[in-house]
Structure 1
Amino acid sequence: MPNHSLRRPHSGPPDRPWLRPEPISLAPVPEPPDAEPTANPASVALARVYALFPAAIRLSCGVAVAVVALAVRTPPVQAVPLALAVVALTIWSYVFYRQAVDNGIRAWVVLVDSALTIVACLAMGVLVARTVMPGGVSWVAVLASTSIITAPFALRMAHGILVGLTIAAAYCAGALIAGQQEEAISHSAVLVVQTFLAIGLVYLTRRSTRAADGVFAAYQRTHRESVIARAAREAERKQNRDLHDTVLSTLTMVGLGGVAAQSPMLRARASSDLRTLFDPVRRPVLDPAAKVSLDERLRLIVERYEGYPLTAALEPCLVPSAVADAIAESADAALSNVVRHGEGSVAWLRLHQTREAVVVEVIDVGPGFDMATIPSYRYGIRESIMARMAAVDATVRIDTAPGNGTRIHLEWANVG
């Protein structure tokens, strides 16, 4: 047993830290998303709008047309053709609505709708009273406008223009047959303008949607690449930690004289290092959230320091597997620092649990150090302890000063 400083007794670890600096903690590394976002979300949303918008327009138009058509039955309106037209168009309005809502807007749906509208336009002479025909306020005029507006939602641009112009021509013919030349010219021109406006609106929305999906696809690629790069960096950091905390740490201990060449601690550490680095297949793969015994994990760490003056007080404690790994490996790194740099020291490892947190402390009465003087490139405390604890949302507090020993306080507060 090495000789210890006479500045304080060593029957047990100090109950209070010798210094009280602010806690040192790092933000956790963000996890990648659980699932890929929907591909082409703008197109999916637009398809839904393209189904609901025409469906709502066509159903409301069908109801309004039926009411208006039946309200004005003055000559030359013929009752039988009007009744047949109203029944057929009302039933079709419901079929159009159900098809669009259930299956999306389809080309055959708007083509059937356009055909019925063309028939109604050609039969205006027996379906619409002459008194309401001028000015484009008749129910057939409303029906024609509705079919022209809904057609581009399911058709290509050229086909939508062709359908719109055909409906406008049918309206013009129907108005001429009914003896309404002025209406034939004026409202047909309005229907032609509506055709190109509807086509332009659909073109702009589709173009904007493609642009939005292109931006989103680029974001997905960039995000995926960043997640892969982050995962690669994390894997590299873990490999570096394992290498630092096993072979390099053990060789440094031997080189600094912290452990004898034939000591039981060296044999235990060498065996553990080889298992960690070269036999990963035999290591059990656990769910990171599965509860494991932290005290058992820490007892395995204590075995690595056989022959060293280390006292362990470990209360039974269950924590998630990922938390147990981080705390146990951080404690091991802290104890390795004690052996390497605290010649002639003794150490304590304590584990206790409260209602609020799980706390592990590594305490030694060695020479201590000044945190401000540690270079940024030093790997031990920054990566092997602080980064490990930060990865599981845990915190680290280091209480130390030159000549006053060291207390490393590891705390995980997500208990319960």
Structure 2
Amino acid sequence: MAPVPAAPDAEPTSNPAGLALARVYAVFPAAIRFSCGIAVATVALAVREPPVQAVPLALAVVVLTIWSFVFYRQTIDNGIRARIVLVDCALTITACLAMRVLVSPEVMPGGVSWVAVLASTSIITAQFALRVVHGVLLGLVIAAAYCVGAILAGQTGEAVSHSAVLVLQSFLAAGLVYLTRRSGRAADSVFTAYQSAHRETVIARAAREAERKQNRDLHDTVLSTLTMVGLGGVASQSAMLRARASSDLRTLFDPARRAVLDPAAKVSLDERLRLVVERYEGYPLTAALEPCRVPSVVADAIAESADAALSNVVRHAENSVAWLRLHHTRDAVVVEVIDVGPGFDMAAIPPYRYGIRESIMARMTSVGGTARIDTAPGNGTRIHLEWADVS
């Protein structure tokens, strides 16, 4: 039988929502951490009233500024990582515990000091790299460190109020990250299910098309030839029978001998139709074929449709004559199969009959062409095959 075409490759399964979310989880924390580092350095150096100590403050500003750049580069290049977040939180906890010598008392109330901003930033960025439970726990540790640092600095009210704010931030940030992760997983799950269904559809469509092609080949070769012999349309020792039998065997059992061409490669349609004419040696068939080149897949469809039409002529229009014509314009290629046989009533053809419906009409439709049957009882038959995508 004809070789079964391989199913087209489906798009590889991926997680586009997860990949997009991972990118956001890298860019957003990196951006806010870097901007916070620059702002913290500027604000910290602007307010240095006692008991702020210059050396610890300068050291903290230098370390945190350098770390902000390292955090940014590592996160942008490699994504948000737990080890980067843990180092960041360790530096923040250290700054919180040392608030007594790093932050002036008059700017500490209200959570407006640079250490308070640093603590909030670290809590938020930590949620992007850690699991929800771990992120919340780390946020609580930072809030506790801020509380202890504020108490050591003599700011008990600030210790309670802003620590509570940091705890709330921990839960809110963790909840937001959890929802976005869950939404991303749901979107990827839907996309994966779509890909799987799409691939199954593609495979099923390819299998159906392969089955239809094999049925057409079988119908148009051995079954057609045997039917012609059975109806007396072909003599058992005729040259036409020998030519058809040889061609049928090559088509069905030796597909490897047929050239495999790029479907878009241009071939000579008139040469393909001359091969069809050879199958009807001895039958009163007149061919008028203008030179014409079309894509190989189109040439195959038109030639096989014309062959099926001529087979119908031999089987059903006994003692008739037939014409095969090929002409083309700048806009279309037209092939006509004409006979002066008895004709038939198209409306009376049963739906299970395969020849015209599949071997001609469906075959032409598969390459973007059309097939029109003009016939009536007693008036012969004209089969008009047209492919209009000529360039």
| Whole-Å separation in 2 of the counterparts to 1:209 and 1:79 | 47
The share of aligned pairs that are identical, in percent, is 84
| Whole-Å separation in 1 of the counterparts to 2:300 and 2:159 | 83
Equivalent residues in 2 for 1:357-372 (5 A)?
357-372=332-347
Residues 1:201 and 2:170 are matched in the alignment = no
Q: C-alpha displacement at 1:199, in angstroms?
A: 1.5
Counterpart of 2:290 in structure 1 is: 315
Q: Which has the higher relative contact order, 1 or 2, with Cα contacts under 8 A spaced 6 or more apart?
A: 1
| Whole-Å separation in 2 of the counterparts to 1:76 and 1:405 | 112
Counterpart of 1:72 in structure 2 is: 47
| Whole-Å separation in 2 of the counterparts to 1:124 and 1:35 | 59
Q: Deviations over 1:330-357 (max 9, x none)?
A: 1111111111112232211122222112
Counterpart of 1:408 in structure 2 is: 383
Counterpart of 1:343 in structure 2 is: 318
Q: C-alpha displacement at 1:90, in angstroms?
A: 2.1
| Whole-Å separation in 2 of the counterparts to 1:213 and 1:364 | 60
Which of 108, 126, 130 is residue 105 of structure 2 equivalent to?
130
Q: Secondary structure at the match of 1:348?
A: strand
Counterpart of 1:297 in structure 2 is: 272
Counterpart of 2:58 in structure 1 is: 83
| Whole-Å separation in 1 of the counterparts to 2:377 and 2:70 | 85
| Whole-Å separation in 1 of the counterparts to 2:58 and 2:333 | 81
| Whole-Å separation in 1 of the counterparts to 2:13 and 2:291 | 45
Counterpart of 1:211 in structure 2 is: 186
After superposition, the CA RMSD in angstroms is 1.8
Equivalent residues in 2 for 1:262-277 (5 A)?
262-277=237-252
Equivalent residues in 2 for 1:133-152 (5 A)?
133-152=108-127
Aligned residues: 386
Counterpart of 1:118 in structure 2 is: 93
- Deviates further, 271-280 or 66-75: 66-75
Residues 1:40 and 2:15 are matched in the alignment = yes
Q: Structure 1's 286 and 218: CA in aligned 2 closer, same or farther, altered over 3 A?
A: same
Which of 76, 89, 100 is residue 75 of structure 2 equivalent to?
100
Q: Structure 1's 38 and 52: CA in aligned 2 closer, same or farther, altered over 3 A?
A: farther
Q: Deviations over 1:17-64 (max 9, x none)?
A: xxxxxxxxxxxxxx9765514412221121111111211221222222
| Whole-Å separation in 2 of the counterparts to 1:55 and 1:140 | 18
| Whole-Å separation in 2 of the counterparts to 1:33 and 1:172 | 63
| Whole-Å separation in 1 of the counterparts to 2:371 and 2:348 | 18
Q: Deviations over 1:245-279 (max 9, x none)?
A: 00111111112222222211111111111111111
Q: Deviations over 1:172-230 (max 9, x none)?
A: 11111111111111111111111112222222222222222222222222222222111
Residues 1:160 and 2:135 are matched in the alignment = yes
Which of 202, 209, 223 is residue 248 of structure 1 equivalent to?
223
Counterpart of 1:373 in structure 2 is: 348
| Whole-Å separation in 1 of the counterparts to 2:319 and 2:333 | 30
| Whole-Å separation in 2 of the counterparts to 1:335 and 1:67 | 90
| Whole-Å separation in 2 of the counterparts to 1:48 and 1:115 | 25
| Whole-Å separation in 2 of the counterparts to 1:64 and 1:357 | 71
Which of 358, 361, 366 is residue 391 of structure 1 equivalent to?
366
| Whole-Å separation in 2 of the counterparts to 1:405 and 1:411 | 20
Contact 2:270/2:290 (8 A) holds in 1 = yes
Q: Deviations over 1:63-106 (max 9, x none)?
A: 22223223333333233322332232222222212211211111
| Whole-Å separation in 2 of the counterparts to 1:76 and 1:352 | 100
Q: Deviations over 1:355-379 (max 9, x none)?
A: 1122222222222222222222111
Q: C-alpha displacement at 1:394, in angstroms?
A: 1.5
Contact 2:8/2:203 (8 A) holds in 1 = no
Gaps of 5+ in 2: 1-5
Contact 2:139/2:167 (8 A) holds in 1 = yes
| Whole-Å separation in 2 of the counterparts to 1:214 and 1:309 | 64
TM-score, structure 1 normalization: 0.88
Instruction: In structure 1, give the amino acid aligned to 2:293.
Output: L
Q: Structure 1's 413 and 94: CA in aligned 2 closer, same or farther, altered over 3 A?
A: farther
| Whole-Å separation in 1 of the counterparts to 2:204 and 2:43 | 65
| Whole-Å separation in 1 of the counterparts to 2:48 and 2:317 | 106
Instruction: In structure 2, give the amino acid aligned to 1:97.
Output: Y
| Whole-Å separation in 1 of the counterparts to 2:143 and 2:283 | 97
Residues 1:331 and 2:306 are matched in the alignment = yes
Residues 1:306 and 2:274 are matched in the alignment = no
Counterpart of 1:178 in structure 2 is: 153
| Whole-Å separation in 2 of the counterparts to 1:248 and 1:180 | 99
| Whole-Å separation in 2 of the counterparts to 1:196 and 1:297 | 75
Contact 2:7/2:207 (8 A) holds in 1 = no
